[in-house]
C-alpha cells in the first residue's frame, strides 16, 4: 500500500472518498491521529505501548479502574512489561487513561482488544465484542477508523461489527472505516514482540484497508495486507489450529509410547535432527492461554453453520482437553503402585500454575483444571509458582481464587506424597525437587531422571 488513496486517486469514486478518509490518512501519516486501545490486557497494553513509542498520542480505555490506577502510578500489572515502560508512557504527555465512553469521541482510531472466550457449550462468546461496539456507537463521529483485533471466526467483522456500527447512522467507507487485524501477541517472548511480528491487516474495502495498513505500518516494519476482513480472521485461526492439532498429535503419541515403555521426549529429540519434513512439538498436561485452547472451536462452530464437520480439529480438541485427566491418572497409578497411597489421601504439590513457562498468565491453564480435579477427588493440593504468587479469579475455576504459592523448600517437598510438574519455569530448583520429593510426576521433561521420577 502506498500513500492513502493512491490507488483510488484517479477513480470515479475518489471525490466521494477523499473527505473524511483523506483527512484521517493525513493524521495517520503525520502521527497526530489519536489512537484509542479498548481493552488493556495482554494484547491491548503492548499495542498501546507500540503506538506510543511510535509517536502517536494514545488513549487507553478499560472498564477495570484498577488497571487505570496502576498505569496512572507508572506501574505495570504484567510481569513481562517492566515498570519503566509504563513510567515513560505516563510522563510523556501523550497518554490518557479512561473508562468514560464519551472520551472515545476524541479518538481518531479505535482498536478493540477484548476477550473472545467460549460458552460452556464451546460456542463463541462475542459478548465482550458486541458490548464494546454498542458502548462506543453513541460516541462515534465521522472520520474514525475502527479495527477489531480480538480473535474470532471468519465473518465476525462484516456480519456482527459492521451492522452494529451502522446503528450510529454513519456510513461505512464514507464516515467510518472498519478493518480487522489479528493479534499475534506471545506473552513472555523476548525475541518476537508486538513491534517486530508481521501484522496481518484485512478489510472489505480498499479505502479501509489502505487506512488500516498505513496505520500499522507507522509502528510495525512489516504488514501483510489481505483481501478481506474474513481472510484476516481466518489467518489467526489457522495459525492457532496448526499448533493445537500438532500438540494434540504429540500428546497422543506420548500416551501411546508410554504404554510401549518408550520415552516420547527422546523420540522427539532424535526426530528433530532431520533437517526437513519435520517440526518438533512437545507434549504437556494440556493446553493453556487464551488462544490455542479456544480458537479452534470458533472455526468448528462457524463451519457447522455451513453444514461442514471439522472432525480433525474437534478430535485434536478432545485429546488436548483430556490431558489433565491423563496426568492425574498417571499420578494416581504411581502413588498406588509405589506406596499403596490413594489419591484421596495424598498431599500433592503442583509446580507451576501459569499456562506456560516464565510468565504470570494463568488463562485457561491446565494446572487450574488439574488442581480442581485433585481437590474434587479428595486430595490435599498446593502449588508453587514464582510467577503466580496468588491465583486470580477465573471464569472456569472461581473456587481457586486467592490460593497462594507455597515456598519451595526441602521440608515442603519431603512432606508431600508427590510433586506434579505442570509448568517448566526456568527459575525452579528441579534438582532439589528430584532429591527431596518422594515421587515426581513430570509432564514437561524438566526433572533429572531418577527412580522416583515418572514421566506423564
Last residue within a domain, chosen from 227, 244, 275: 227
Q: How confident is the model at residue 186 (pLDDT cuts 50, 70, 90)?
A: confident
For residues 427 and 323, state if they share a domain: yes
Question: Do the beta carbons of residue 222 and residue 199 sit within 8 Å?
Answer: yes
For residues 69 and 174, state if they share a domain: yes
For residues 266 and 206, state if they share a domain: no
Q: How confident is the model at residue 10 (pLDDT cuts 50, 70, 90)?
A: very low
Summarised one tens digit per residue, pLDDT across range 428-450 is: 999 999 999 999 999 999 998 88
Summarised one tens digit per residue, pLDDT across range 75-109 is: 999 988 999 999 999 999 999 999 999 999 999 99
Q: How confident is the model at residue 15 (pLDDT cuts 50, 70, 90)?
A: very low
pLDDT, residue 12, reads 35
For residues 75 and 220, state if they share a domain: yes
Last residue within a domain, chosen from 161, 192, 227: 227
pLDDT, residue 14, reads 44
Total tally of structural domains belonging to the chain:
2
Summarised one tens digit per residue, pLDDT across range 316-364 is: 999 999 999 999 999 999 999 999 999 999 999 999 999 999 999 999 9
**Whether 416 is catalytic:** no
Question: Do the beta carbons of residue 230 and residue 202 sit within 8 Å?
Answer: yes
Q: Is residue 5 part of a domain?
A: no
The whole model's pTM is what? 0.91
d(CA 204, CA 75): 39
User: Does the structure show a pLDDT above 50 at 7?
Assistant: no
pLDDT over 70 for what percent of the chain?
A: 96
Q: Is residue 58 part of a domain?
A: yes
Q: How confident is the model at residue 122 (pLDDT cuts 50, 70, 90)?
A: confident
Residues 6+ apart with CB under 8 A from 14: 5, 8
For residues 61 and 111, state if they share a domain: yes
pLDDT, residue 13, reads 42
For residues 205 and 308, state if they share a domain: no
For residues 337 and 188, state if they share a domain: no
For residues 284 and 419, state if they share a domain: yes
Residues 6+ apart with CB under 8 A from 305: none
Q: How far is CA 288 from CA 1, 219, 400, 422, in A?
A: 37, 29, 17, 11
Q: Is residue 238 part of a domain?
A: no
Q: Is residue 235 part of a domain?
A: no
Ramachandran assignment for 73, one of left (phi > 0), alpha (psi -120 to 50 degrees), beta (any other): alpha
- Grid cell digits, residue 136: 462506543
Choose the catalytic residue: 291, 416, 422, 446: 291
- pLDDT, mean of residues 264-286: 97
For residues 44 and 168, state if they share a domain: yes
d(CA 363, CA 373): 17
pLDDT, residue 400, reads 98
Q: What is the 3-state secondary structure (H, E, C) of the chain?
A: CCCCCCCCCCCCCHHHHCCHHHHHHHHHHHCCCCEEEECCCCCHHHHHHHHHHCCCCEEEECCCHHHHHHHHCCCCCCCCCCHHHHHHHHHCCCEEEECCHHHHHHCCEEEECCCCCECCCCCECCHHHHHHHHHHHCCCCCCEEEEECCCCCCCHHHHHHHHHHHCCCCCECCCEEEEECCCCCCCCCCCCCCCCCCEEEECCCHHHHHHHHHHHHCCCCCEEEECCHHHHHHHHHHHHHHHHHHHHHHHHHHHHHHHCCCCHHHHHHHHCCCCCCCCCCCCCCCCCCCCCCCHHHHHHHHHHHCCCCCHHHHHHHHHHHCHHHHHHHHHHHHHHHHHCCCHHHCEEEEECCCCCCCCCCCCCCHHHHHHHHHHHCCCEEEEECCCCCECCCCCCCHHHCCCECCCCCHHHHHHCCEEEECCCCCCCCHHHHHHHCCCEEECCCCCCCCCCEEEC
For residues 332 and 396, state if they share a domain: yes
Q: Is residue 233 part of a domain?
A: no
Strand order in the sheet with 95-98: 95-98, 58-61, 35-38, 109-112, 144-148, 176-180, 199-202, 223-226
- Grid cell digits, residue 454: 515418572
Q: Quote the domain boundaries for residue 367.
A: 253-455
d(CA 359, CA 423): 10
Ramachandran assignment for 115, one of left (phi > 0), alpha (psi -120 to 50 degrees), beta (any other): beta
For residues 286 and 362, state if they share a domain: yes
| Residue 37: CATH number of its domain | 3.40.50.720
d(CA 189, CA 441): 27
Summarised one tens digit per residue, pLDDT across range 214-242 is: 999 999 999 999 999 999 999 999 999 99
Q: Is residue 156 part of a domain?
A: yes
Q: Is residue 248 part of a domain?
A: no
For residues 284 and 205, state if they share a domain: no
User: Does the structure show a pLDDT above 90 at 251?
Assistant: yes
Q: Is residue 243 part of a domain?
A: no
Last residue within a domain, chosen from 178, 210, 227: 227
Amino acid at each position: 500500500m502506498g500513500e492513502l488513496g493512491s490507488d483510488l486517486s484517479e477513480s470515479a469514486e475518489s471525490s466521494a472518498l477523499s473527505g473524511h478518509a483523506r483527512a484521517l490518512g493525513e493524521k495517520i501519516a503525520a502521527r497526530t491521529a489519536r489512537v484509542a486501545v479498548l481493552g488493556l490486557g495482554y494484547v491491548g497494553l503492548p499495542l498501546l505501548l507500540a503506538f506510543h513509542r511510535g509517536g502517536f498520542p494514545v488513549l487507553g480505555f478499560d472498564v477495570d479502574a484498577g488497571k487505570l490506577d496502576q498505569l496512572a502510578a507508572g506501574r505495570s500489572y504484567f510481569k513481562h512489561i517492566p515498570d519503566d515502560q509504563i513510567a515513560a508512557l505516563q510522563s510523556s504527555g501523550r497518554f490518557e487513561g479512561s473508562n468514560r465512553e464519551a472520551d472515545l469521541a476524541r479518538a481518531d482510531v479505535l482498536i478493540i482488544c477484548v476477550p473472545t472466550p467460549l460458552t460452556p457449550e464451546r460456542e463463541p462468546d462475542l459478548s465482550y465484542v458486541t458490548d464494546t461496539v454498542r458502548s462506543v456507537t453513541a460516541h462515534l463521529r465521522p472520520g474514525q477508523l475502527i479495527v477489531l483485533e480480538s480473535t474470532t471466526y471468519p465473518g465476525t467483522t462484516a456480519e456482527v461489527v459492521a451492522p452494529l456500527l451502522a446503528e450510529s447512522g454513519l456510513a461505512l467507507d464514507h464516515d467510518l472505516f472498519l478493518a480487522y487485524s489479528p493479534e499475534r501477541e506471545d506473552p513472555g517472548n523476548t525475541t518476537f514482540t508486538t513491534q517486530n511480528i508481521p501484522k496481518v491487516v484485512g478489510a472489505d474495502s480498499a479505502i479501509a484497508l489502505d487506512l488500516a495498513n498505513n496505520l500499522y505500518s507507522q509502528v510495525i516494519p512489516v504488514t501483510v495486507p489481505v483481501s478481506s476482513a474474513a481472510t484476516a480472521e481466518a489467518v489467526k485461526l489457522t495459525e492457532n489450529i496448526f499448533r493445537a492439532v500438532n500438540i494434540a498429535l504429540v500428546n497422543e503419541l506420548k500416551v501411546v509410547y508410554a504404554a510401549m515403555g518408550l520415552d516420547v521426549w527422546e523420540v522427539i529429540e532424535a526426530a528433530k535432527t532431520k533437517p526437513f519434513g519435520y517440526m518438533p512439538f512437545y507434549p504437556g498436561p494440556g493446553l493453556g492461554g487464551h488462544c490455542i485452547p479456544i480458537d479452534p472451536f470458533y472455526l468448528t462452530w462457524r463451519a457447522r453453520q455451513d453444514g461442514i464437520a471439522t472432525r480433525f480439529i474437534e478430535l485434536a480438541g478432545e485429546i488436548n482437553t483430556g490431558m489433565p485427566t491423563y496426568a492425574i491418572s498417571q499420578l494416581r497409578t504411581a502413588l498406588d503402585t509405589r506406596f499403596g497411597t490413594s489419591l484421596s489421601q495424598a498431599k500433592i504439590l503442583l509446580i507451576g500454575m501459569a499456562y506456560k513457562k516464565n510468565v504470570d498468565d494463568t488463562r485457561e491453564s491446565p494446572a487450574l483444571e488439574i488442581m480442581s480435579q485433585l481437590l474434587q477427588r479428595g486430595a490435599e493440593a498446593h502449588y508453587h509458582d514464582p510467577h503466580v504468587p496468588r491465583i486470580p479469579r477465573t471464569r472456569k475455576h472461581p473456587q481457586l481464587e486467592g490460593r497462594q504459592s507455597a515456598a519451595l523448600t526441602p521440608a515442603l517437598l519431603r512432606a508431600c506424597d508427590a510433586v506434579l510438574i505442570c509448568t517448566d519455569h526456568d527459575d525452579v530448583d528441579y534438582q532439589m525437587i528430584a532429591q527431596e520429593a518422594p515421587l515426581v510426576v513430570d509432564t514437561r521433561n524438566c526433572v533429572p531422571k531418577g527412580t522416583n521420577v515418572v514421566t506423564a
